[in-house]
Amino acid sequence: MTRLLIIGGLAAELGQAARIAQARGARIAQADGPAAALARLRSEGADLVLCELTHDIAWLMERLAAERIACPVIACGHNADAAAAVRAIQAGAREFLPLPPDAELIAAMLQAVSGEAEGPVHRDPAMGALLARAEALARAEASILVTGESGTGKEVLARYLHAHSRRARGPFVALNCAALPETLLESELFGHEKGAFSGAVAARKGKFEQADGGTLLLDEIGEMDPRLQAKLLRVIQEREVDRLGGTAPVKVDVRLLAATNRDLGAEVRAGRFREDLYFRLNVVALHIPPLRERPGDIGALAAHFARRFAEANGLPVRPLAPAAEAALLAHPWPGNVRELENTLHRAVLLAEGGWIGPEAIELTPLPPAAPATEAALAPARPGAPALATAPGGVAGLVGRRMEEVERDLILETLTHCLGNRTRAAEILGISIRTLRNKLHEYRAQGAPVPVAPGSGMLPVLPAGPGR
Protein backbone atom coordinates (compact mmCIF):
# COMPACT_ATOMS: atom_id res chain seq x y z
CA MET A 1 0.00 0.00 0.00
CA THR A 2 1.49 3.30 -1.10
CA ARG A 3 1.85 5.92 1.64
CA LEU A 4 0.80 9.20 0.01
CA LEU A 5 1.33 12.53 1.82
CA ILE A 6 -0.74 15.40 0.41
CA ILE A 7 0.31 19.00 1.12
CA GLY A 8 -2.67 21.33 0.95
CA GLY A 9 -6.34 21.43 1.86
CA LEU A 10 -8.48 18.41 1.00
CA ALA A 11 -11.35 20.50 -0.29
CA ALA A 12 -12.34 20.69 -3.95
CA GLU A 13 -9.99 19.20 -6.54
CA LEU A 14 -7.14 18.17 -4.24
CA GLY A 15 -9.62 16.29 -2.08
CA GLN A 16 -10.91 14.61 -5.24
CA ALA A 17 -7.34 13.52 -6.04
CA ALA A 18 -7.00 12.14 -2.50
CA ARG A 19 -10.20 10.12 -2.83
CA ILE A 20 -9.10 8.70 -6.18
CA ALA A 21 -5.72 7.69 -4.76
CA GLN A 22 -7.39 6.14 -1.71
CA ALA A 23 -9.71 4.14 -3.96
CA ARG A 24 -6.61 2.89 -5.78
CA GLY A 25 -5.22 1.52 -2.52
CA ALA A 26 -3.10 4.41 -1.25
CA ARG A 27 -2.89 5.27 2.45
CA ILE A 28 -3.48 9.03 2.72
CA ALA A 29 -1.92 11.52 5.14
CA GLN A 30 -2.37 15.28 4.94
CA ALA A 31 -0.36 18.36 5.94
CA ASP A 32 -1.41 21.98 5.63
CA GLY A 33 2.01 23.19 4.44
CA PRO A 34 5.62 22.15 3.69
CA ALA A 35 6.79 22.64 7.30
CA ALA A 36 4.07 20.36 8.67
CA ALA A 37 4.77 17.87 5.86
CA LEU A 38 8.45 17.83 6.77
CA ALA A 39 7.57 16.99 10.37
CA ARG A 40 5.39 14.10 9.19
CA LEU A 41 8.14 12.80 6.92
CA ARG A 42 10.58 12.81 9.83
CA SER A 43 8.24 10.86 12.10
CA GLU A 44 6.24 8.63 9.75
CA GLY A 45 7.84 8.75 6.32
CA ALA A 46 5.98 8.42 3.01
CA ASP A 47 6.41 6.80 -0.37
CA LEU A 48 5.23 9.83 -2.31
CA VAL A 49 4.41 13.50 -1.68
CA LEU A 50 1.77 15.44 -3.63
CA CYS A 51 2.17 19.20 -3.18
CA GLU A 52 0.05 22.08 -4.49
CA LEU A 53 1.89 24.67 -6.57
CA THR A 54 0.73 27.37 -4.18
CA HIS A 55 3.22 26.10 -1.59
CA ASP A 56 6.98 26.68 -1.52
CA ILE A 57 8.13 23.50 -3.26
CA ALA A 58 11.68 24.80 -3.68
CA TRP A 59 12.01 25.22 0.10
CA LEU A 60 10.65 21.71 0.65
CA MET A 61 13.10 20.17 -1.82
CA GLU A 62 16.02 22.00 -0.16
CA ARG A 63 15.02 20.71 3.28
CA LEU A 64 14.57 17.15 2.02
CA ALA A 65 18.07 17.24 0.53
CA ALA A 66 19.61 18.81 3.64
CA GLU A 67 17.99 16.25 5.96
CA ARG A 68 18.77 13.32 3.65
CA ILE A 69 15.13 12.39 3.14
CA ALA A 70 14.76 10.53 -0.16
CA CYS A 71 11.08 10.88 -1.06
CA PRO A 72 9.75 11.80 -4.54
CA VAL A 73 7.59 14.93 -4.75
CA ILE A 74 4.93 15.58 -7.37
CA ALA A 75 3.65 19.11 -7.91
CA CYS A 76 -0.03 19.60 -8.75
CA GLY A 77 -2.05 22.53 -9.99
CA HIS A 78 -3.89 23.88 -13.01
CA ASN A 79 -2.41 23.89 -16.50
CA ALA A 80 -2.67 27.69 -16.46
CA ASP A 81 0.08 27.72 -13.83
CA ALA A 82 2.68 26.62 -16.37
CA ALA A 83 5.46 28.89 -15.08
CA ALA A 84 4.96 27.67 -11.50
CA ALA A 85 4.98 24.06 -12.71
CA VAL A 86 8.29 24.60 -14.52
CA ARG A 87 9.80 26.17 -11.38
CA ALA A 88 8.66 23.20 -9.31
CA ILE A 89 10.28 20.72 -11.73
CA GLN A 90 13.47 22.79 -11.79
CA ALA A 91 13.49 22.76 -7.98
CA GLY A 92 13.47 18.97 -8.01
CA ALA A 93 9.82 17.87 -8.17
CA ARG A 94 9.58 14.54 -9.98
CA GLU A 95 6.48 15.30 -12.06
CA PHE A 96 3.51 17.62 -12.51
CA LEU A 97 -0.09 16.43 -12.00
CA PRO A 98 -2.68 18.69 -13.64
CA LEU A 99 -5.92 19.48 -11.82
CA PRO A 100 -8.75 18.58 -11.99
CA PRO A 101 -7.29 15.08 -11.45
CA ASP A 102 -7.59 12.21 -13.91
CA ALA A 103 -8.18 8.83 -12.25
CA GLU A 104 -5.99 6.84 -14.64
CA LEU A 105 -3.18 9.38 -14.45
CA ILE A 106 -3.20 9.13 -10.65
CA ALA A 107 -3.10 5.34 -10.92
CA ALA A 108 -0.10 5.62 -13.26
CA MET A 109 1.50 8.12 -10.88
CA LEU A 110 1.15 5.78 -7.90
CA GLN A 111 2.66 2.91 -9.84
CA ALA A 112 5.36 4.62 -11.92
CA VAL A 113 6.66 7.07 -9.32
CA SER A 114 6.18 5.27 -6.02
CA GLY A 115 6.99 1.82 -7.39
CA GLU A 116 3.67 0.29 -6.38
CA ALA A 117 3.56 -3.18 -7.86
CA GLU A 118 0.60 -5.24 -9.00
CA GLY A 119 -0.15 -8.75 -7.85
CA PRO A 120 1.56 -11.60 -9.68
CA VAL A 121 0.08 -12.39 -13.10
CA HIS A 122 0.95 -15.96 -14.04
CA ARG A 123 -0.13 -19.03 -15.96
CA ASP A 124 3.06 -21.09 -16.07
CA PRO A 125 3.26 -24.06 -13.64
CA ALA A 126 6.72 -22.93 -12.48
CA MET A 127 5.33 -19.63 -11.18
CA GLY A 128 2.27 -21.37 -9.77
CA ALA A 129 4.51 -23.61 -7.67
CA LEU A 130 6.63 -20.67 -6.56
CA LEU A 131 3.59 -18.65 -5.43
CA ALA A 132 2.18 -21.65 -3.58
CA ARG A 133 5.46 -21.97 -1.68
CA ALA A 134 5.53 -18.22 -1.04
CA GLU A 135 2.01 -18.28 0.39
CA ALA A 136 2.95 -21.15 2.71
CA LEU A 137 6.02 -19.23 3.94
CA ALA A 138 4.31 -15.85 4.19
CA ARG A 139 2.78 -16.43 7.64
CA ALA A 140 6.14 -17.24 9.20
CA GLU A 141 8.39 -14.54 10.66
CA ALA A 142 11.65 -15.78 9.13
CA SER A 143 13.68 -13.55 6.82
CA ILE A 144 13.35 -14.46 3.15
CA LEU A 145 15.88 -13.87 0.37
CA VAL A 146 14.24 -13.34 -3.01
CA THR A 147 16.60 -13.93 -5.93
CA GLY A 148 16.23 -13.66 -9.68
CA GLU A 149 17.46 -11.77 -12.70
CA SER A 150 16.71 -8.08 -13.08
CA GLY A 151 13.12 -7.50 -14.16
CA THR A 152 11.70 -10.84 -13.02
CA GLY A 153 9.37 -9.28 -10.42
CA LYS A 154 11.16 -9.58 -7.09
CA GLU A 155 9.31 -6.64 -5.49
CA VAL A 156 6.00 -8.02 -6.76
CA LEU A 157 6.75 -11.29 -4.95
CA ALA A 158 7.82 -9.40 -1.82
CA ARG A 159 4.51 -7.54 -1.73
CA TYR A 160 2.70 -10.84 -2.26
CA LEU A 161 4.50 -12.25 0.79
CA HIS A 162 3.50 -9.22 2.87
CA ALA A 163 -0.13 -9.36 1.72
CA HIS A 164 -0.40 -13.02 2.81
CA SER A 165 1.42 -12.55 6.11
CA ARG A 166 0.16 -11.83 9.62
CA ARG A 167 1.56 -8.34 9.10
CA ALA A 168 -0.65 -7.51 6.12
CA ARG A 169 -2.39 -4.70 8.04
CA GLY A 170 0.97 -3.16 8.89
CA PRO A 171 3.13 -1.04 6.58
CA PHE A 172 5.12 -2.40 3.65
CA VAL A 173 8.25 -0.31 3.17
CA ALA A 174 10.71 -0.87 0.32
CA LEU A 175 14.19 0.59 -0.13
CA ASN A 176 16.52 0.14 -3.10
CA CYS A 177 20.01 -0.18 -1.63
CA ALA A 178 21.67 0.62 -4.97
CA ALA A 179 19.73 3.80 -5.64
CA LEU A 180 21.30 5.92 -2.89
CA PRO A 181 24.86 6.88 -1.93
CA GLU A 182 26.20 5.33 1.28
CA THR A 183 25.63 8.36 3.54
CA LEU A 184 22.05 8.84 2.38
CA LEU A 185 21.33 5.10 2.55
CA GLU A 186 22.47 4.95 6.18
CA SER A 187 20.14 7.80 7.17
CA GLU A 188 17.27 6.27 5.17
CA LEU A 189 17.68 2.91 6.89
CA PHE A 190 18.38 3.86 10.48
CA GLY A 191 17.16 7.45 10.83
CA HIS A 192 18.99 10.26 12.62
CA GLU A 193 18.83 12.54 15.63
CA LYS A 194 18.85 16.32 15.60
CA GLY A 195 22.37 17.60 14.94
CA ALA A 196 23.68 14.24 13.66
CA PHE A 197 25.05 16.04 10.59
CA SER A 198 24.86 19.44 8.93
CA GLY A 199 21.21 19.95 7.97
CA ALA A 200 19.75 17.55 10.54
CA VAL A 201 17.59 20.15 12.26
CA ALA A 202 15.22 17.57 13.75
CA ALA A 203 15.09 13.86 14.56
CA ARG A 204 13.87 11.54 11.84
CA LYS A 205 12.73 7.91 11.75
CA GLY A 206 14.44 5.60 9.24
CA LYS A 207 12.87 2.82 7.18
CA PHE A 208 13.19 0.27 9.97
CA GLU A 209 11.11 2.40 12.32
CA GLN A 210 8.66 3.32 9.54
CA ALA A 211 8.11 -0.41 8.89
CA ASP A 212 7.52 -1.22 12.57
CA GLY A 213 4.78 -3.83 12.83
CA GLY A 214 5.07 -4.58 9.11
CA THR A 215 7.54 -5.65 6.45
CA LEU A 216 10.74 -4.04 5.17
CA LEU A 217 12.12 -4.99 1.75
CA LEU A 218 15.77 -4.25 1.07
CA ASP A 219 16.10 -4.48 -2.69
CA GLU A 220 19.48 -4.99 -4.38
CA ILE A 221 20.98 -5.91 -1.01
CA GLY A 222 24.15 -7.10 -2.74
CA GLU A 223 25.06 -3.48 -3.49
CA MET A 224 25.20 -2.45 0.18
CA ASP A 225 28.53 -1.13 1.47
CA PRO A 226 30.33 -3.55 3.89
CA ARG A 227 30.22 -0.98 6.70
CA LEU A 228 26.44 -0.78 6.47
CA GLN A 229 26.25 -4.57 6.22
CA ALA A 230 27.78 -4.77 9.71
CA LYS A 231 25.25 -2.27 11.07
CA LEU A 232 22.37 -4.11 9.39
CA LEU A 233 23.53 -7.41 10.93
CA ARG A 234 23.34 -5.87 14.40
CA VAL A 235 19.79 -4.63 13.77
CA ILE A 236 18.71 -8.13 12.71
CA GLN A 237 20.34 -9.73 15.75
CA GLU A 238 19.26 -7.22 18.39
CA ARG A 239 15.93 -6.09 16.89
CA GLU A 240 16.86 -2.48 17.55
CA VAL A 241 18.31 0.39 15.54
CA ASP A 242 20.86 3.04 16.39
CA ARG A 243 19.93 6.33 14.75
CA LEU A 244 22.77 8.46 13.44
CA GLY A 245 23.82 10.66 16.34
CA GLY A 246 21.62 8.69 18.75
CA THR A 247 22.54 7.81 22.32
CA ALA A 248 20.08 4.95 22.92
CA PRO A 249 18.84 2.14 20.65
CA VAL A 250 15.24 2.04 19.44
CA LYS A 251 13.36 -1.28 19.48
CA VAL A 252 11.75 -2.34 16.17
CA ASP A 253 9.41 -5.16 15.19
CA VAL A 254 10.01 -5.76 11.49
CA ARG A 255 9.83 -8.76 9.16
CA LEU A 256 12.81 -8.44 6.82
CA LEU A 257 12.81 -9.41 3.15
CA ALA A 258 15.86 -8.99 0.92
CA ALA A 259 16.13 -9.17 -2.85
CA THR A 260 19.08 -9.41 -5.21
CA ASN A 261 19.97 -10.31 -8.78
CA ARG A 262 23.47 -11.29 -7.70
CA ASP A 263 24.81 -14.65 -6.51
CA LEU A 264 25.33 -13.70 -2.88
CA GLY A 265 27.18 -16.94 -2.23
CA ALA A 266 29.75 -15.91 -4.83
CA GLU A 267 29.84 -12.40 -3.35
CA VAL A 268 30.63 -13.94 0.06
CA ARG A 269 33.44 -16.05 -1.42
CA ALA A 270 34.83 -12.93 -3.13
CA GLY A 271 34.83 -11.04 0.17
CA ARG A 272 32.29 -8.45 -0.94
CA PHE A 273 29.42 -9.62 1.28
CA ARG A 274 29.48 -10.66 4.92
CA GLU A 275 28.98 -14.38 5.43
CA ASP A 276 27.17 -13.94 8.75
CA LEU A 277 24.74 -11.45 7.20
CA TYR A 278 24.17 -13.79 4.25
CA PHE A 279 23.07 -16.60 6.56
CA ARG A 280 20.83 -14.24 8.54
CA LEU A 281 19.05 -13.10 5.38
CA ASN A 282 18.94 -16.48 3.68
CA VAL A 283 16.82 -18.34 6.25
CA VAL A 284 14.52 -19.21 3.34
CA ALA A 285 15.23 -18.49 -0.32
CA LEU A 286 12.72 -17.99 -3.13
CA HIS A 287 14.15 -17.92 -6.65
CA ILE A 288 12.09 -16.38 -9.45
CA PRO A 289 12.91 -18.06 -12.76
CA PRO A 290 13.62 -15.80 -15.75
CA LEU A 291 10.79 -15.26 -18.20
CA ARG A 292 12.45 -17.48 -20.82
CA GLU A 293 12.07 -20.41 -18.39
CA ARG A 294 8.36 -19.82 -17.81
CA PRO A 295 6.93 -19.31 -21.33
CA GLY A 296 3.41 -19.97 -20.11
CA ASP A 297 3.45 -16.56 -18.42
CA ILE A 298 4.33 -14.58 -21.57
CA GLY A 299 0.84 -14.62 -23.08
CA ALA A 300 -0.88 -13.88 -19.77
CA LEU A 301 1.45 -10.99 -18.96
CA ALA A 302 1.22 -9.59 -22.49
CA ALA A 303 -2.58 -9.55 -22.36
CA HIS A 304 -2.45 -7.93 -18.91
CA PHE A 305 -0.07 -5.17 -20.03
CA ALA A 306 -2.01 -4.58 -23.26
CA ARG A 307 -5.19 -4.02 -21.27
CA ARG A 308 -3.50 -1.83 -18.64
CA PHE A 309 -1.75 0.49 -21.09
CA ALA A 310 -4.80 0.76 -23.33
CA GLU A 311 -6.89 1.92 -20.36
CA ALA A 312 -4.18 4.31 -19.15
CA ASN A 313 -3.89 5.95 -22.57
CA GLY A 314 -7.60 6.12 -23.37
CA LEU A 315 -7.33 3.56 -26.19
CA PRO A 316 -9.52 0.56 -26.98
CA VAL A 317 -8.42 -2.75 -25.47
CA ARG A 318 -7.25 -4.92 -28.37
CA PRO A 319 -6.18 -8.58 -28.33
CA LEU A 320 -2.84 -9.81 -29.62
CA ALA A 321 -2.84 -11.27 -33.10
CA PRO A 322 -1.55 -14.87 -33.27
CA ALA A 323 1.54 -13.73 -35.22
CA ALA A 324 2.29 -11.09 -32.57
CA GLU A 325 1.97 -13.64 -29.77
CA ALA A 326 4.25 -16.01 -31.69
CA ALA A 327 6.89 -13.26 -31.94
CA LEU A 328 6.69 -12.72 -28.18
CA LEU A 329 7.05 -16.44 -27.47
CA ALA A 330 10.12 -16.70 -29.72
CA HIS A 331 11.99 -13.86 -27.99
CA PRO A 332 14.48 -14.73 -25.18
CA TRP A 333 13.53 -11.70 -23.00
CA PRO A 334 16.90 -10.76 -21.51
CA GLY A 335 15.11 -7.94 -19.62
CA ASN A 336 12.40 -10.34 -18.39
CA VAL A 337 8.98 -8.99 -17.34
CA ARG A 338 10.17 -5.39 -17.35
CA GLU A 339 11.26 -5.71 -21.00
CA LEU A 340 7.93 -7.35 -21.88
CA GLU A 341 6.08 -4.50 -20.17
CA ASN A 342 7.99 -1.87 -22.16
CA THR A 343 7.41 -3.81 -25.38
CA LEU A 344 3.64 -3.98 -24.83
CA HIS A 345 3.49 -0.30 -23.89
CA ARG A 346 5.03 0.55 -27.27
CA ALA A 347 2.80 -1.96 -29.06
CA VAL A 348 -0.40 -0.48 -27.61
CA LEU A 349 0.61 2.98 -28.85
CA LEU A 350 1.74 1.78 -32.30
CA ALA A 351 -1.03 -0.73 -33.09
CA GLU A 352 -3.66 0.05 -35.69
CA GLY A 353 -6.97 -1.65 -36.33
CA GLY A 354 -8.71 -4.14 -34.09
CA TRP A 355 -5.63 -6.21 -33.22
CA ILE A 356 -2.12 -5.71 -31.91
CA GLY A 357 -0.27 -7.14 -34.90
CA PRO A 358 3.36 -8.23 -35.28
CA GLU A 359 4.24 -4.91 -36.93
CA ALA A 360 3.62 -3.19 -33.57
CA ILE A 361 5.93 -5.55 -31.65
CA GLU A 362 9.35 -3.90 -31.57
CA LEU A 363 11.79 -6.31 -29.96
CA THR A 364 15.36 -5.53 -28.97
CA PRO A 365 17.53 -7.97 -30.95
CA LEU A 366 20.43 -9.76 -29.31
CA PRO A 367 23.88 -8.71 -30.58
CA PRO A 368 24.71 -10.86 -33.64
CA ALA A 369 27.52 -13.35 -33.33
CA ALA A 370 30.66 -12.34 -35.20
CA PRO A 371 30.83 -14.28 -38.49
CA ALA A 372 33.61 -16.82 -38.75
CA THR A 373 36.27 -15.76 -41.24
CA GLU A 374 38.84 -17.87 -43.07
CA ALA A 375 41.57 -16.40 -40.91
CA ALA A 376 39.61 -17.20 -37.77
CA LEU A 377 38.99 -20.81 -38.88
CA ALA A 378 42.56 -21.44 -40.03
CA PRO A 379 44.90 -23.19 -37.59
CA ALA A 380 47.18 -20.82 -35.76
CA ARG A 381 50.81 -20.70 -36.83
CA PRO A 382 53.22 -21.98 -34.21
CA GLY A 383 54.36 -19.04 -32.13
CA ALA A 384 51.84 -16.63 -33.68
CA PRO A 385 50.18 -14.19 -31.24
CA ALA A 386 46.53 -14.86 -30.33
CA LEU A 387 45.43 -11.59 -31.95
CA ALA A 388 46.34 -12.90 -35.38
CA THR A 389 43.61 -15.56 -35.21
CA ALA A 390 40.76 -13.10 -34.69
CA PRO A 391 41.01 -10.14 -37.06
CA GLY A 392 37.26 -9.55 -36.76
CA GLY A 393 37.36 -9.61 -32.96
CA VAL A 394 40.14 -8.47 -30.65
CA ALA A 395 42.42 -7.42 -33.51
CA GLY A 396 39.76 -4.96 -34.60
CA LEU A 397 40.30 -3.10 -31.35
CA VAL A 398 43.99 -2.47 -31.92
CA GLY A 399 44.73 1.24 -32.27
CA ARG A 400 41.82 2.32 -30.06
CA ARG A 401 42.17 3.74 -26.57
CA MET A 402 41.10 1.51 -23.69
CA GLU A 403 38.73 4.21 -22.43
CA GLU A 404 36.95 4.31 -25.81
CA VAL A 405 36.51 0.54 -25.94
CA GLU A 406 35.16 0.48 -22.39
CA ARG A 407 32.73 3.32 -23.12
CA ASP A 408 31.38 1.65 -26.25
CA LEU A 409 30.99 -1.69 -24.46
CA ILE A 410 29.09 -0.11 -21.57
CA LEU A 411 26.78 1.98 -23.77
CA GLU A 412 26.08 -0.91 -26.16
CA THR A 413 25.26 -3.19 -23.23
CA LEU A 414 22.98 -0.54 -21.75
CA THR A 415 21.17 -0.12 -25.07
CA HIS A 416 20.76 -3.90 -25.29
CA CYS A 417 19.18 -3.84 -21.80
CA LEU A 418 16.69 -1.09 -22.77
CA GLY A 419 18.43 1.34 -20.42
CA ASN A 420 18.12 -0.95 -17.39
CA ARG A 421 21.13 -0.06 -15.22
CA THR A 422 20.87 -3.07 -12.91
CA ARG A 423 20.73 -5.61 -15.73
CA ALA A 424 23.59 -3.91 -17.61
CA ALA A 425 25.79 -3.91 -14.50
CA GLU A 426 25.01 -7.61 -14.01
CA ILE A 427 26.07 -8.45 -17.58
CA LEU A 428 29.20 -6.29 -17.36
CA GLY A 429 30.20 -7.78 -14.01
CA ILE A 430 30.51 -4.41 -12.26
CA SER A 431 28.61 -2.79 -9.41
CA ILE A 432 25.70 -0.51 -10.24
CA ARG A 433 27.51 2.36 -8.49
CA THR A 434 30.49 1.91 -10.80
CA LEU A 435 28.16 1.89 -13.79
CA ARG A 436 26.41 5.08 -12.68
CA ASN A 437 29.74 6.84 -12.15
CA LYS A 438 30.82 5.84 -15.67
CA LEU A 439 27.54 7.09 -17.17
CA HIS A 440 27.96 10.39 -15.34
CA GLU A 441 31.38 10.76 -16.98
CA TYR A 442 29.98 9.92 -20.43
CA ARG A 443 27.18 12.48 -20.10
CA ALA A 444 29.75 15.12 -19.15
CA GLN A 445 31.66 14.18 -22.32
CA GLY A 446 28.48 14.66 -24.39
CA ALA A 447 27.91 10.96 -25.16
CA PRO A 448 24.24 9.89 -25.61
CA VAL A 449 23.29 7.73 -22.60
CA PRO A 450 20.10 5.60 -22.86
CA VAL A 451 17.33 6.74 -20.50
CA ALA A 452 16.52 4.39 -17.63
CA PRO A 453 13.06 2.76 -17.74
CA GLY A 454 10.66 4.11 -15.11
CA SER A 455 12.86 7.17 -14.63
CA GLY A 456 9.99 9.26 -13.33
CA MET A 457 8.25 10.08 -16.63
CA LEU A 458 4.58 9.25 -16.51
CA PRO A 459 2.60 7.84 -19.45
CA VAL A 460 1.39 10.61 -21.73
CA LEU A 461 -2.37 10.50 -22.00
CA PRO A 462 -4.05 11.75 -25.14
CA ALA A 463 -6.54 14.60 -24.92
CA GLY A 464 -10.09 13.46 -24.52
CA PRO A 465 -13.45 14.48 -23.11
CA GLY A 466 -13.03 16.30 -19.83
CA ARG A 467 -9.23 16.59 -20.16
Residues 268 and 298 in one domain: no
CATH of the domain at 335: 1.10.8.60
Whether 297 is in a domain gets the answer yes
Which string of b and e fits 439-453 if b means at least 16 CB within 10 Å? beeeeeeeeebbebb
Residues 73 and 88 in one domain: yes
CATH of the domain at 271: 3.40.50.300
Residues 108 and 157 in one domain: no
What's the pLDDT at 462? 35
CATH of the domain at 38: 3.40.50.2300
Residues 224 and 90 in one domain: no
Residues 224 and 331 in one domain: no
Whether 215 is in a domain gets the answer yes
- How far apart are the C-alpha atoms of 123 and 127, rounded to whole Å? 7
Residues 14 and 94 in one domain: yes
- How far apart are the C-alpha atoms of 374 and 79, rounded to whole Å? 64
Q: Which of 52, 79, 112 is the last residue of a domain?
A: 112
Beta-bridged to residue 48, according to DSSP, are: 4
Residues 223 and 195 in one domain: yes
- How far apart are the C-alpha atoms of 303 and 121, rounded to whole Å? 10
What's the pLDDT at 399? 62
What's the pLDDT at 371? 45
What's the pLDDT at 294? 95
Whether 88 is in a domain gets the answer yes
Residues 95 and 236 in one domain: no
Whether 447 is in a domain gets the answer yes
- How far apart are the C-alpha atoms of 253 and 210, rounded to whole Å? 10
Query: Per the structure, how many domains does the chain have?
Result: 4
Residues 232 and 311 in one domain: no
Residue 184: partners with Cβ closer than 8 Å, 6 or more residues away: 68, 70
Q: Which of 234, 256, 287 is the last residue of a domain?
A: 287
What's the pLDDT at 366? 55
**Which residue segment(s) compose the domain that 151 sits in?**
125-287
- How far apart are the C-alpha atoms of 438 and 432, rounded to whole Å? 10
Whether 43 is in a domain gets the answer yes
Q: What is the pTM of this model?
A: 0.68
Residues 96 and 142 in one domain: no
What's the pLDDT at 65? 87
CATH of the domain at 404: 1.10.10.60
Residues 67 and 133 in one domain: no
Whether 50 is in a domain gets the answer yes
What's the pLDDT at 111? 65
Whether 118 is in a domain gets the answer no
Q: What is the pLDDT along the chain (467 residues), one digit of tens a residue?
A: 678 999 988 877 888 888 888 887 788 999 999 999 999 999 888 888 999 999 999 999 999 988 888 888 999 988 777 888 888 888 888 888 888 887 767 776 776 544 444 568 999 999 999 999 999 999 999 999 999 998 899 999 999 999 999 999 899 999 989 878 888 899 999 999 999 888 888 999 999 999 999 999 999 999 999 999 999 999 999 999 999 999 899 999 999 999 999 999 999 999 999 999 999 999 999 999 999 999 999 999 999 999 988 887 788 999 999 999 999 999 999 889 989 998 999 999 999 999 999 999 998 765 544 444 433 334 443 443 343 333 344 555 666 677 778 888 898 888 777 777 877 887 787 877 788 888 878 887 777 787 665 444 333 333 333 43
Residues 142 and 41 in one domain: no
Whether 394 is in a domain gets the answer no
Max intra-chain CA distance, the chain = 84
